[in-house]
Structure 1
Amino acid sequence: MKDLGPLQYFLGIKVARNKNEIFLCQRKYALDIITEARLLGCKPVATPLEQQHKLDLADGPVMDEPAQYRRLVGRLMYLLATRLDLTYAVHVLSQFMQNPRVVHWESALRVVRYLKGTPGQGILLRADSDLKLRGWSDSDWGSCRLSRKSVSGWYITLGQSPIS
């Protein structure tokens, strides 16, 4: 064994720590995704998906290389470890892994364009958090046309344990 000092990287997650907080970020991994998608010079967008998207009803040409779509969505799934703002978008995109269409690919590239504007976002764990569980729900009575489940609004905040 060898002591490498304080933790800085773990499984591609950068760990920045001080006396009162820990910040977890996957900036390098996000930039790798943007580079691989060839969108380093693109204009960022403000949201990962369009509102009122109809991806579940999408028809049109099927992608020639579905492995490319699967790889991108898989990489976005790993990014969810520190980017909870992408959860809904990646959930929707992952439903079309078997037979992705061009419109699904374009939506996945929109998520990458969103990443372009926010590559350094992550999770901040504070020692002075109030350690309370909060929840909110807004049922939309089955708006998902594939599963007939409510997917519009749920929000939960978890408190963190004290940092030593």
Structure 2
Amino acid sequence: MENCTPATFPMPKGLKLSKYDGELIPDPEVYRRLVGKLLYLNLSRPDISYSVQQLSQFLSEPTAPHLSTAVHILRYLKGSINMDLFYPANSDMNLIAYSDADWGTCTDTARSLTGYCIFLGNSLIFWKTKKQKVVAKSSTEAEYRSMSHTGDEAVWLEGLLSELHVSVPLPIVLHCDNVSAQHIAENPCFHEKTKHMRRKNQKIDVHYIKDLVQSGFIRLQHVKSALQLADIMTKPLGTDQHRFLTSKIGLLQNSSSQEWTGSSLACHS
């Protein structure tokens, strides 16, 4: 792939993969080794988080379309091989989180995707793309569960920084782009859209984010969908939006480091 034609995005916009697509490849170990390397690379390349999560679902029986998608990611990496996460030296100690969900994105199970990213000041320190454990009946429910999972990580990070004697100002701001989910989390009473959550693990999700908000640990703040940084963790985007969000999370070309030093993340203000 060293001489391949570079791509401008990791996955084509609107692409949905399924375990029933195409024929099984003759040597699945090739696919598994490739995805394993991409999982390792994901530790420093949040822009491929969604793509790698999608590919890792098919390790048992990969098909030709799955391998083709993995190759497309290699083409994208070919064109962005010099991109690095940049951490400015003058960053503050505020934790800022972004939470997003893509409702019913899995074509095989109808489960939604949770995506979130957490910044320490202007520095991206945590991100994740994960399929939700149960089917959400609405986009509001999917977003609400994503907020709860993001709250988990915010609590853990605040505790970790406290052990390192780093004081994190509270409340931690959690950005979401779903107004209904935000209203449910801020309302101490149960809502019409959550009354069906009666199983024990579902009720824990419901109560958890409410408690974090009511205790003052987390403050919810609405953000426009176009400025939702976690959007890059939940779906394949077009070239322009992908490039925009990639720059906003601090993933830049090496040659841009000096220009970045004097700038700030406009979404955080």
Q: Take 2:83 and 2:6, find their aligned partners in 1: how far apart are those partners?
A: 14
Q: Are 1:123 and 2:70 an aligned pair?
A: no
Report the equivalent of 2:146.
none
Amino acid of the residue matched to residue 133 of structure 1? L
Cα RMSD, aligned residues only: 2.2
Larger radius of gyration: 2
Amino acid of the residue matched to residue 66 of structure 1? P
Aligned ranges 1:17-32 → 2 under 5 Å: none
Report the equivalent of 1:53.
15
Q: Take 1:81 and 1:50, find their aligned partners in 2: how far apart are those partners?
A: 22
* Contact 1:73 1:90 survives alignment (8 Å): yes
Aligned ranges 1:1-80 → 2 under 5 Å: 39-56=1-18, 58-80=20-42
**Matched residues, percent identical?**
39
* Contact 2:19 2:62 survives alignment (8 Å): no
Deviation at 1:98, TM superposition (A): 0.4
Q: Take 1:58 and 1:151, find their aligned partners in 2: how far apart are those partners?
A: 20
Report the equivalent of 1:36.
none
Q: Take 2:44 and 2:99, find their aligned partners in 1: how far apart are those partners?
A: 22
Deviation at 1:153, TM superposition (A): 5.5
CA-to-aligned-CA distance 1:52-81 (integer Å, 9 cap, x gap): 112126421110010000011101111112
Deviation at 1:107, TM superposition (A): 0.1
1:149 alignment partner, SS class: coil
Deviation at 1:152, TM superposition (A): 7.2
Structure 1 unmatched runs, 5+: 1-38
1:78 alignment partner, SS class: helix
Q: Which moved more, 1:145-154 or 1:69-78?
A: 145-154
* Contact 1:76 1:90 survives alignment (8 Å): yes
Deviation at 1:131, TM superposition (A): 2.4
Q: Take 1:92 and 1:108, find their aligned partners in 2: how far apart are those partners?
A: 10
Q: Take 1:140 and 1:85, find their aligned partners in 2: how far apart are those partners?
A: 16
Q: Which structure has more RCO (C-alpha within 8 Å, separation ≥ 6)?
A: 1
Aligned ranges 1:97-136 → 2 under 5 Å: 97-136=59-98
Structure 2 unmatched runs, 5+: 124-160, 167-269
Q: Take 2:59 and 2:36, find their aligned partners in 1: how far apart are those partners?
A: 9
Amino acid of the residue matched to residue 69 of structure 2? S
| CA gap 1:140/1:122 in 2 versus in 1, 3 angstroms | same
1:136 alignment partner, SS class: strand
* Contact 1:58 1:103 survives alignment (8 Å): no
TM-score (normalised: structure 1):
0.67
* Contact 2:17 2:107 survives alignment (8 Å): no
Deviation at 1:123, TM superposition (A): 1.9
Amino acid of the residue matched to residue 83 of structure 1? R
Q: Take 1:140 and 1:124, find their aligned partners in 2: how far apart are those partners?
A: 27
Deviation at 1:50, TM superposition (A): 1.1
| CA gap 1:144/1:156 in 2 versus in 1, 3 angstroms | farther
